[in-house]
């Protein structure tokens, strides 16, 4: 049965479509044949609660494949892989009759302390935007909608339902909104979820600038805006701002407010029509998409995909030979500790090896279809002895005796092994939606355990399980470190694959690992106080900060090693007919095993007019290469990604000039640099009495005239300039002087050289764009 047009519904029916019936369902209108649809979390698996689930929405859910959370998956830097995971998520949602999956989350990792960083991709908007778009496309290819969240500037959990993210326009546009813009423009998610927080004082859920002006009018969003669960503050204001669907249910209270507001004339009924119309569109899409996938769910195939994705998520941070090479038994001729020889005698140490941490707590918690442990999977691949020692306990209360006994047992196992593989990480309680971390440290007993193990056996590999970055004070003391993040249900197998070299690691960091919390960009402004958090670091988020301040880091953004090595040729770059910059570089696998390299392109504009980071990521691609193979890797830097947000005119502008294009293996490992000339956008700053003299002098129409006038004036000022210290530049002193004020200093007493009417004439002439009159 065809769905009705919005005009066929009563006001009450239309209002009823703008809030949920329950935690996960929209309201049906039986009279008009409008069915309810179901939405569920997200983002790295399906969390469909069983019927009659609890009211917090956190209880038991049907089993679903738990793919690597974004912190892991993002580290693959691979849109195709993310797309495939998205397809699998869409398939599982479709088979469970779920119309919209509540993800992906693409918020920027502003501080490593954010409790929810495990759900987000990166500290960089290009990474977040490209991967977010791939996931949306993948999910939606199965007739299921995605919900791009949390829109916007929701970069902490502390006080998230009240705090105002106070962000200046440039970082807001260039860092925090840029990824959202990309996903909306490239993938048209069926829904966008507005966040809990306020932005510059206004709730995201009732911000017409955000939800209508930017999202719809500028970016062309065609879908529905849904509130985060409980994000509505003032329902009528929200509706007016463009917030279409309130979730979960308000028990009809806010529907009645909407009806009353129309009756008393404070709300235009067309606003209700627009929101109800979008709700109907969503139901229409969901109805058309339903049944696109034939069951049953292939649990094994999705588990295999989860393992592949997890293998691609593990970052090899470091891989040296241990100090005492005699202790080493590896299959690698270069003498690096990894990969392990299959017949090496291993001591596997650490609670996480047997009790994996594979996802974070909160609304994204999946009940997996199965769960691999690293210990079992290592044993399955190993040909030698594998001893296991728990090493430490993650329990809240552990006695000193128990800690010492666990440590001694681990040291004993390590001392007789060829290699110790030590699993360290963050206990689950330290990372969750709803609150942030206080520090970036691993628990002290884990660090002490590691020291004791390394003292007993220097051939030690550390495998980390954590959703947010941790400080690695031992990085210089252990030869090999795998950052295994949270990897989903097949992470255990993936870790074994990488340890033994069945999978050659290729992931890279999408966030910087700092040396100390005090070095991090938001350190002095996180999480704010009195419900305001000032984004004082501005544009300088993540590597942009460390590079600008030349701060040493533990491992830089974009870093990740392989069991093979790659050589880069000389890059070339040219502007194509669309104005985009095409970059090409030849990459060769110079090692002896097949591998994949993530190639990164950063740009900068030395001597540019606007304040910019030292370099910014603009494009990336990955290439799989056999030993000895060379391939050309082509990357496109979109012209629009070169643009900065100009706050004087509220628009994107590309500054012209000779850009440096750095082709790199990480943000601090530039392999080839090339220059490319980019034409700037045609743009003339409108003049006003507030324009500075420098701005007027640079103006294409009136600039010459003003320059000549100033030169003439300076000529008559010898008496003044002669008493100034040598070298003081009077013209420079004048540059920041607003032209409108010049008249004040040139009134009748001082000779009356500048007439205010003349200045207004000059401004009008400049703004009219006409030719200067003689």
Binding site for ligand BGC (CB under 6 A): 41-42, 57, 102, 149, 228-229, 363
Q: How far is the CB of 146 from ligand BGC (least distance, A)?
A: 12
615 CB-side CA count, 13 A: 23
Please name the residues in contact with 210: beta carbons below 8 A apart, sequence gap of 6 or more: 151, 152, 194, 199, 202, 204, 241
Q: How far is the CB of 130 from ligand BGC (least distance, A)?
A: 21
Q: How far is the CB of 212 from ligand BGC (least distance, A)?
A: 22
Q: Which residue has the tokens 């040296």?
A: 320
Q: How far is the CB of 179 from ligand BGC (least distance, A)?
A: 16
What Rg do the C-alpha atoms of the chain give, in angstroms? 29
Q: Which residue is nearest to ligand BGC (CB)?
A: 363
Between 120 and 546, CB nearer to ligand BGC: 120
Distance CA 538, CA 548 (A): 12
Q: How far is the CB of 147 from ligand BGC (least distance, A)?
A: 7
Q: What is the DSSP letter of 150?
A: E
Q: What is the DSSP letter of 729?
A: -
Q: How far is the CB of 545 from ligand BGC (least distance, A)?
A: 27
Between 468 and 613, CB nearer to ligand BGC: 468
Q: Measure Cα distances from 540 to 111, 119, 144, 440, 521 in Å.
A: 12, 22, 37, 20, 7
Q: What is the DSSP letter of 51?
A: T
Between 113 and 471, CB nearer to ligand BGC: 113
Distance CA 33, CA 28 (A): 8
Alpha helices in 253-373 (DSSP H): 253-263, 269-289, 299-311, 351-354
Is 716 exposed, middle or buried (CB count within 10 Å of its CB: 0-12, 13-18, 19+)?
exposed
244 is catalytic: no
Distance CA 173, CA 678 (A): 22
Between 197 and 313, CB nearer to ligand BGC: 197
Between 262 and 366, CB nearer to ligand BGC: 366
The answer to whether the bond into 152 is cis (omega within 30° of 0) is: yes
Between 363 and 446, CB nearer to ligand BGC: 363
Between 161 and 586, CB nearer to ligand BGC: 161
Give yes or no for a contact between 148 and 134, defined as CB atoms under 8 angstroms apart: no
Between 142 and 149, CB nearer to ligand BGC: 149
Pick the closest to residue 108 from 125, 93, 83 (CA basis): 125
Between 70 and 463, CB nearer to ligand BGC: 70
Q: How far is the CB of 367 from ligand BGC (least distance, A)?
A: 14
Q: Strands 630-637 and 553-555: what pairing?
A: unpaired
3-state secondary structure of 373: coil
Q: How far is the CB of 531 from ligand BGC (least distance, A)?
A: 18
Give yes or no for a contact between 226 and 195, defined as CB atoms under 8 angstroms apart: no
DSSP for 585-644, written as a single string: EEEEE-SSS-EEEEEEEEEE-TT-SS---S-EEEEEEEEEE-TT-EEEEEEEE-GGGG-E
Q: Among 78, 166, 207, 228, which one carries the catalytic annotation?
A: 228
Distance CA 544, CA 547 (A): 5
In degrees and rounded to multiples of 5, residue 249 shows phi and psi of: -85, 145
Query: What residues are paired with 464 via a beta bridge?
Result: 424, 483
Q: How far is the CB of 228 from ligand BGC (least distance, A)?
A: 5
Cα four-point dihedral sign 698, 704, 706, 709: positive
Q: Which residues are catalytic, by number?
A: 228
């Amino acid at each position: 049965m065809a769905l009705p047009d919005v005009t066929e519904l009563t006001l009450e029916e239309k209002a009823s479509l703008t809030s949920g019936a329950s935690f996960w369902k929209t309201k049906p209108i039986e009279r008009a044949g409008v069915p309810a649809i179901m939405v569920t979390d997200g983002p790295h698996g399906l969390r469909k609660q069983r019927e009659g689930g609890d009211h917090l929405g956190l209880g038991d859910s049907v089993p679903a494949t738990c793919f690597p959370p974004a912190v892991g998956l993002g580290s693959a830097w691979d849109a195709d892989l993310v797309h495939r995971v998205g397809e699998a998520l869409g398939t599982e949602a479709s088979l469970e009759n779920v119309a919209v999956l509540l993800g992906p989350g693409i918020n920027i990792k502003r501080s490593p302390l954010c409790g929810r960083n495990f759900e987000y991709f990166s500290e960089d908007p290009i990474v977040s935007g490209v991967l977010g778009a791939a996931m949306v496309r993948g999910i939606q290819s199965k007739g299921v909608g995605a919900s791009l969240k949390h829109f916007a500037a929701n970069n902490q959990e502390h006080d998230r339902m009240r705090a105002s993210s106070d962000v200046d326009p440039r970082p807001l546009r260039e860092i925090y909104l840029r990824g959202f813009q990309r996903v909306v423009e490239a993938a048209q998610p069926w829904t966008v979820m507005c966040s809990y927080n306020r932005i510059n004082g206004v709730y995201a859920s009732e911000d017409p600038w955000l939800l209508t002006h930017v999202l719809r009018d500028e970016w062309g969003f065609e879908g529905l805006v849904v509130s985060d669960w409980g994000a509505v503050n003032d329902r009528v204001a929200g509706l007016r701002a463009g917030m279409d669907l309130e979730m979960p249910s308000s028990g009809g209270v806010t529907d009645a407010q909407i009806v009353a507001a129309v009756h008393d004339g404070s709300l235009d009924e067309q606003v209700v029509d627009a929101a109800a119309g979008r709700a109907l569109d969503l139901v229409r899409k969901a109805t058309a998409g339903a049944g696109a996938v034939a069951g049953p769910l292939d649990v094994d195939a999705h588990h295999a995909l989860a393992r592949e994705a997890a293998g691609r998520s593990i970052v090899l941070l470091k891989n040296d030979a241990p100090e005492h090479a005699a202790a080493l038994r590896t299959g690698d001729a270069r003498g690096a500790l990894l990969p392990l020889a299959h017949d090496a005698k291993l001591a596997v140490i650490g609670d996480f090896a047997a009790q994996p941490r594979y996802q974070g707590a909160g609304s994204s918690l999946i009940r997996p279809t199965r769960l691999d442990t690293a210990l079992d999977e290592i044993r399955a691949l190993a040909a030698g002895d594998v001893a296991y020692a728990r090493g430490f306990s993650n329990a809240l209360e552990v006695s000193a005796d128990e800690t010492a006994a666990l440590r001694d047992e681990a040291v004993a196992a390590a001392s007789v092994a060829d290699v110790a593989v030590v699993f360290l990480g963050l206990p689950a309680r330290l990372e969750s939606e709803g609150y942030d971390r206080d520090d970036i440290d691993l628990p002290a007993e884990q660090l002490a355990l590691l020291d004791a193990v390394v003292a007993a056996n220097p051939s030690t590999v550390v495998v980390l399980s954590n959703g947010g970055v941790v400080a690695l004070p031992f990085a210089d003391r252990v030869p090999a470190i795998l950052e295994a993040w949270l990897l989903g249900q097949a992470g255990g197998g993936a870790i074994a694959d990488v340890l033994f070299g069945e999978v050659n690691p290729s992931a890279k960091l999408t966030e910087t690992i700092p040396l100390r919390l005090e070095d991090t960009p938001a350190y002095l402004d996180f999480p704010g106080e009195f419900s305001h958090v000032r984004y004082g670091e501005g544009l300088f988020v993540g590597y942009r900060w460390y590079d600008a301040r030349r701060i040493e880091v533990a491992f830089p953004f974009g870093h990740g090693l392989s069991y093979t090595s790659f050589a880069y040729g000389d890059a070339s770059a040219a502007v194509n007919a669309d104005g985009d910059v095409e970059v090409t570089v030849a990459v060769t696998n110079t090692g002896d095993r097949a591998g994949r390299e993530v190639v990164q392109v950063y740009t900068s504009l030395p001597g540019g007019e606007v304040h910019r980071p030292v370099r910014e990521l603009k494009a990336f691609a990955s290439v799989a290469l056999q030993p000895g193979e060379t391939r050309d890797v082509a990357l496109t830097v979109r012209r629009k990604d070169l643009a900065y947000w100009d706050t004087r005119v509220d628009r994107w502008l590309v500054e012209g000039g000779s850009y440096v294009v750095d082709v790199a293996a990480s943000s601090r490992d530039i392999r080839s640099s090339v220059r490319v000339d980019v034409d700037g956008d045609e743009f003339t700053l409108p003049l006003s009495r507030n324009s500075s003299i420098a701005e007027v002098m640079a103006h294409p129409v009136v600039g010459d005239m003003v320059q000549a006038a100033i030169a003439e004036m300076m000529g008559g000022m010898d008496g003044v300039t002669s008493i100034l210290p040598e070298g003081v530049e009077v013209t420079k002193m004048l540059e920041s002087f607003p032209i409108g004020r010049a008249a004040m200093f040139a009134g009748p007493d001082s000779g009356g050289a500048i007439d205010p009417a003349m200045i207004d004439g000059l401004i009008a002439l400049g703004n009219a764009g006409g030719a200067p009159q003689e």
